[in-house]
Structure 1
Amino acid sequence: SFVTDIMCILGILGIILMIIENEIAFSQINNNDTSCSWSIKIIISFTTIVLIGFIFQYHRLRISLDAINNSIGDSRATLTNKKIYLIVFEILICAIHPIPRSFPRRLKTSVENISSVSSASTSYSLSYIDIDIALGLPMFARVYLLCRFIMFHSHLFLDASSRSIGYLNQVSMDYFFLIKAYLQQWPIRCLTTFCIIVFLVGSWCLRACDYTSTNEHISMLDSMWLFIETFTTVGYGDIIPSTYCGRSIAAIIGLFGLLSTALLISVLIQKLLLNRWEKYVHNFVLNIQLEKERKIQAANIIKFSFQIWCMKKKNTSVCSISYFRAQRRLFQSIDLLLQIKQEQRKLIDSCVDQIDLISVQRNTSVETYEIKEQFKIMKVKMDNMEEKLVDMNMNINNIINDIQKTLNMLLNKVSK
């Protein structure tokens, strides 16, 4: 946990310093370096080297822990090609940063030279991108360190009982599981945090990649407006990306906008759905209404059947309007009664969900176990009764034999 905390701090610090360095360069002519920006690049390089060292330490501890969990003596045996590729990929992501070049020297340039240079300058081409921006934008990938920080400080990950239950059920307590758990627990909070982070990062990336007609970076407000247009897939066209870099960032923002819209719709659907008890109350009220309608239609069937019977007793013509009307109402009541019964069956089916089925299965299992135990007890009692009956039979046979012997002795004495 301590190593991940330091990695997260160094990663976020590098991103902040990169933004500050580029903002200083944006204020200069042709994005020239200053002594201040050069010093910040030195600090970024130092923090990057320290971060890579902590990455090696983190993976060394993780490989050692895997070896201990799997009872392996040599920790190198746990290394696989996939783990090696992931470690190399993580190091490459964290190693990319604006590299300090030669120390900038002050050039005494007159105002006339500056104005002549600015007047003679032409607009940048579509493929233009500053080297510091090209090396600075990939640094936003270090945000994954924040995700690792959240994982190692989550109560689900730190709780030994929850991890044991997950291990027994073959559920790994990784970052994707935590994301799904947090989206289930706090959907609005997670979605809002995600959109704010994407908004700030995407707006600054658009500012860094896009230029005005005077070769200056667009303002932060304009980049925010361009982000909103792209994120919401509106695209008014008043501000457009001026480079391939800006177009690439806009395409990525559009994909994030579609993903956020899908997440927002799922969250709204989850909030609008009735919970289990609300569904029970709603179905109970509907069932009462359907029961009232069923009784009304059953009474109408009896009433119209009685009317038709009375008309037949009075020898009313079958072709008369009153007879036809009563017969039509009778058939309508029968049809409505069948529809109400069908709706009641559908209501019962919709009320029974997976939780009810699981509870019924659990209760059935408990009752089956109790019945089995009772059968075992009955079997033991039957065996005891059988043994007692055998003993009684033997005693009765012995008594009969004794009586016979006694009678034989008496007969012998009488005969003498």
Structure 2
Amino acid sequence: MRCRLRKQLFIKRNKICEVSLALGLAGLIFVIIDSEITASNGDSNFSKTHPISLLLRTLCVLCTIALMATLVHYHATEVKIALIDSGADDWRVALTTERVIKLAIELVICSICPFPGTGMMQWPYIHPDSRKATMVDVPVDVLLAVPMFLRAYLLCRFMVLHSKQFQDAATRSIAALNRISMDFRFVIKTMMADHPLRVLIVFTVSFWVCMSWMFTQCERYDGHLPAEHYYLNSLWFIMVTFMSVGYGDIVPNTYCGRTLAITTGIVGAGVSSALIAVISRKLELSRAEKHVNNFMADSKLTNQRKNAAALVLQQTWLVYSNFFINKILQIFKIKFIHKYKHSCGKGDELRLRHHQRRFLQAISEFRRIKWDQRKLQERGNLLLDVGKLHSEMHETLWEMHRTQDQFIAQVDLLTQKIVELQNTLKQQQHQQHRHMLQNPSQSYQRGMSSAESCESGLILPQSTLITGQPTVTLPMVPSLTTLPVRSTTASAVDFADIPSGSTNIPRVYPDNGYIRL
């Protein structure tokens, strides 16, 4: 019953969200139409006192009132859902301070709208040439129309409630188990992970159009340019400010326009950073592509290493052949180069230095190639180590689960054996008890014989308790400590360590006044 009621409330909440979004957009459209037909551009015959303008603003007020009612209804539905989730009965339990503050903020944002009879106001206009401020007449509807774009949060709520992640019950359950809230941040991050370019393009175009219209409303009432020029200039200014270019050919002349320019710059910086991150992630090579590039680079470095080694040998042979072969043939042993420096000509010495430089360069090149091969191998090992670590973790977890299952099976078997042992002991006790109840005389005779055996064999007696019958107290054997042994008592003997009922009890023999066991 509770699940069915909760599902019905979920469907109802989605419908309320759709209605609130439609009312918010309808009021915004009425305001845009009213602002465009009553703009002071000299070509319009409408004014703020025209019946059409009054009708449009009246419709906007009615939509705003209906929107506020739907917001209250929406939060009331959320309170009911919270009551079902918590199992409480009183609605004041789910009505938290955070929810009240959130409702108050939403009502304040959505209550802002132009209404009939607002009139005109004056605000400063800064001339771009002289930089002097003059007061111009501006309708009050401009200040009330610009904040109406804050109703865009209703679109964010609509996206959350109609997303695949929120509508799927399994996804919501998994998110709840992992302590992840299904809010707008989670939905937009998921969309950015799946379709990053599409999300950024849609947001950029929407933000560009909305901010251009608001900037036009702030800058159009000086009366110096036609209306179409204001729109084109606003589109250009918002785009260059959004991209953090700022040519300076168009500047805002009102404080409202400057505020919008600052907001555009901040949002544009964030979107540009996100775009760079998305492009960087798209340009990153996959693991297979990295393996291909590593293989090609390794083949290239191997060939270069072979060529460098061959060059080292070649230069070594040239140095050797130019200056040592003749001397070796003469003296049959190798001499150092500096010993024959004076015997060589100028050309031979220059040729020697040239081959020595080539020889050292070949050695350096060979070492550099070896170092590049080592770095490439480490980079390839890093890719392999990640996959190897993943496989080892998977094998370790599988082995842990298998060991845990075996341990649980052994514990279950041990528990079963303990239960069987307990049942066996209970059956034996029950049989002994029933036998004692049926033959009480034999139990008494057995107790007397035990007492006699205690007297003869020094067996410690035990009292027998017969359930359901009077308690039979057997005569106790006198303690050995009271028996005289050559005028000496066996006080040094401690029978506390002898278990009761034991038949292997050593006898006590007197030996020269001492107790010998």
Q: TM-score, length-normalised on structure 2? A: 0.60
| Paired AA for residue 318 in structure 1 | I
Task: Single out whichever of 34-43 and 331-340 deviates more from structure 2.
Answer: 331-340
Matched ranges for 1:211-290 at <5 A: 211=220, 213-214=222-223, 218-219=227-228, 220-290=231-301
Counterpart position of 1:130: 139
Instruction: Name stretches of at least 5 consecutive residues in structure 1 with no aligned partner.
Output: 104-122, 378-416
The partner residue of 2:307 within 296, 311, 319 is 296
The partner residue of 2:174 within 161, 165, 182 is 165
The partner residue of 2:389 within 337, 351, 361 is 361
Whether contact under 8 Å (2:34, 2:53) holds in the other structure is yes
The partner residue of 2:196 within 178, 183, 187 is 187
Counterpart position of 1:19: 32
Percent of aligned positions that are identical: 31
Whether contact under 8 Å (1:304, 1:330) holds in the other structure is yes
1:378-411 per-position Cα deviation (integer Å, ceiling 9, x unaligned)? xxxxxxxxxxxxxxxxxxxxxxxxxxxxxxxxxx
Per-residue deviation at 1:24? 2.0
Determine if the alignment matches structure 1 residue 6 to structure 2 residue 35.
no
Q: Secondary structure at the match of 1:337?
A: helix
CA–CA separation in structure 1 for the residues paired with 2:164 and 2:306: 56
Say if 1:127 and 1:248 are closer, same or farther in 2 by CA, change over 3 A: farther
Whichever structure has more helix as a proportion of its residues is 1
Counterpart position of 1:92: 108
Whether contact under 8 Å (2:146, 2:214) holds in the other structure is yes
Cα RMSD over matched residues? Answer: 3.5
| Paired AA for residue 171 in structure 1 | I
CA–CA separation in structure 2 for the residues paired with 1:40 and 1:84: 32
Counterpart position of 2:337: 318
Q: Secondary structure at the match of 1:210?
A: helix
Counterpart position of 2:161: 152
Per-residue deviation at 1:92? 0.7
Counterpart position of 2:58: 42
CA–CA separation in structure 2 for the residues paired with 1:338 and 1:70: 71
Q: Secondary structure at the match of 1:99?
A: coil
Counterpart position of 1:210: 219
Determine which structure has greater relative contact order: mean sequence separation of CA pairs < 8 Å that are 6+ residues apart, divided by chain length: 1
Whether contact under 8 Å (1:308, 1:327) holds in the other structure is yes
CA–CA separation in structure 1 for the residues paired with 2:104 and 2:293: 57
Per-residue deviation at 1:3? 1.5
Whether contact under 8 Å (2:24, 2:151) holds in the other structure is yes
Instruction: Name stretches of at least 5 consecutive residues in structure 2 with no aligned partner.
Output: 1-13, 120-131, 329-333, 339-348, 407-517
Q: Secondary structure at the match of 1:26?
A: coil
Say if 1:212 and 1:268 are closer, same or farther in 2 by CA, change over 3 A: same
Per-residue deviation at 1:139? 0.5
**Computing the radius of gyration over CA atoms, which structure comes out larger, 1 or 2?**
2
Say if 1:212 and 1:98 are closer, same or farther in 2 by CA, change over 3 A: closer
Task: Single out whichever of 279-288 and 77-86 deviates more from structure 2.
Answer: 77-86
Whether contact under 8 Å (2:137, 2:221) holds in the other structure is no
Whichever structure has more strand as a proportion of its residues is 2
Determine if the alignment matches structure 1 residue 342 to structure 2 residue 389.
no
CA–CA separation in structure 2 for the residues paired with 1:303 and 1:170: 69
Per-residue deviation at 1:163? 2.9
| Corresponding residue pairs, total | 357
Q: Secondary structure at the match of 1:100?
A: coil
Per-residue deviation at 1:307? 6.2
| Paired AA for residue 16 in structure 1 | I
Per-residue deviation at 1:301? 4.3
Say if 1:74 and 1:224 are closer, same or farther in 2 by CA, change over 3 A: same
CA–CA separation in structure 1 for the residues paired with 2:292 and 2:183: 38
CA–CA separation in structure 1 for the residues paired with 2:378 and 2:137: 63
Say if 1:186 and 1:323 are closer, same or farther in 2 by CA, change over 3 A: same
Whether contact under 8 Å (1:297, 1:334) holds in the other structure is yes
1:180-226 per-position Cα deviation (integer Å, ceiling 9, x unaligned)? 22222222211111111112111111221113653777432333233
1:223-269 per-position Cα deviation (integer Å, ceiling 9, x unaligned)? 32333343344444554333222222222223233333323323332
Whether contact under 8 Å (2:47, 2:53) holds in the other structure is no
Q: TM-score, length-normalised on structure 1? A: 0.74
